[in-house]
Amino acid sequence: MSFALTRGPRNLFSWGTRLDMSPPWTLVNLTVPSTSEIAPDNLLNANILHEDGTPGVIHSVYQTVPLKSGNVYTFSTVAKPINRTWLFLFGFAVETGMVSISTYFDISNGLVGTTVATKNNFIEPVGDGWFRCSMVFQSAYAANKIFTTFVAEANNDHTFDGLDQDSVLIWRPCFNPGYLPEDINSIRTREVPIT
């Protein structure tokens, strides 16, 4: 008898290349009109986040991820501005005391904005106006938790009047174990929704 060893995916997000897949992705006050925009790898696989025209609301995409207590994780995405220049990454109630984690990123100037309860945050240029936005945290709970990417209007401002416009480009969102994001060129994603 022989056995085949296979390495499981490191990206805990399902369908990391297609934010229009529901489930596992949930869109709030936005659409993904295209998943075939030019990405940093020069392939047509970046996603447009298009905010709707609803006033005074959030515009986001999220997925639920299973966490293990005490483990360190990195939540990251590669983004490029279209008509909005800020992105907000958020993890719901993952730290001790049910504290949520969050980081704002200026994806026009490559700067980290306001952060809450994270171990580390960084933004790295990846070429042609794209930036990799990452936040690192340690989970206090073994539970399924929601991780969200918000279109933001400015630092500390992710609730705004939508303008029915293409907001940002997103490529290869990743949620992986460890203190660093997966290498952009080796991100593996599960292309079958988790049931």
Q: CATH number for the domain including 158?
A: 2.60.120
79 falls within a domain:
yes
4 falls within a domain:
no
Q: Measured between alpha carbons, how far is 69 from 61 in angstroms, rounded to an integer?
A: 24
Q: Measured between alpha carbons, how far is 141 from 127 in angstroms, rounded to an integer?
A: 36
11 falls within a domain:
no
128 falls within a domain:
yes
Report the amino acid identity of residue 140: A
Q: In which domain, by residue range, is 129 found?
A: 26-186
Is the per-residue pLDDT at 124 higher than 60? yes
Predicted confidence (pLDDT) per residue in 43-60, tens digit: 899 999 999 999 999 999
64 falls within a domain:
yes
108 falls within a domain:
yes
Contact 175, 1 (CB under 8 A): no
What is the Rg, in whole angstroms, of the alpha carbon atoms belonging to the chain?
Answer: 16
- pLDDT reported for residue 6: 35
Q: Measured between alpha carbons, how far is 188 from 55 in angstroms, rounded to an integer?
A: 37
- Between 154 and 195, the more confident residue is 154
Contact 51, 87 (CB under 8 A): no
Q: Measured between alpha carbons, how far is 166 from 50 in angstroms, rounded to an integer?
A: 4
114 falls within a domain:
yes
For the chain, percent of residues with pLDDT exceeding 90: 62
Q: Measured between alpha carbons, how far is 154 from 135 in angstroms, rounded to an integer?
A: 18
Q: Measured between alpha carbons, how far is 113 from 122 in angstroms, rounded to an integer?
A: 10
Predicted confidence (pLDDT) per residue in 129-187, tens digit: 999 999 999 988 888 889 999 999 999 999 999 999 999 999 999 999 988 887 766 65
| pLDDT grade for 10, boundaries at 50, 70 and 90 | confident
Considering only CA atoms, which of 4, 56, 54 is closest in space to residue 31? 54
- pLDDT reported for residue 185: 65
Mean pLDDT of the chain: 87
Q: Measured between alpha carbons, how far is 63 from 130 in angstroms, rounded to an integer?
A: 22
> How many structural domains compose the chain?
1
111 falls within a domain:
yes
- pLDDT reported for residue 187: 55
| pLDDT grade for 80, boundaries at 50, 70 and 90 | very high
Q: What is the mean pLDDT of residues 16-33?
A: 92
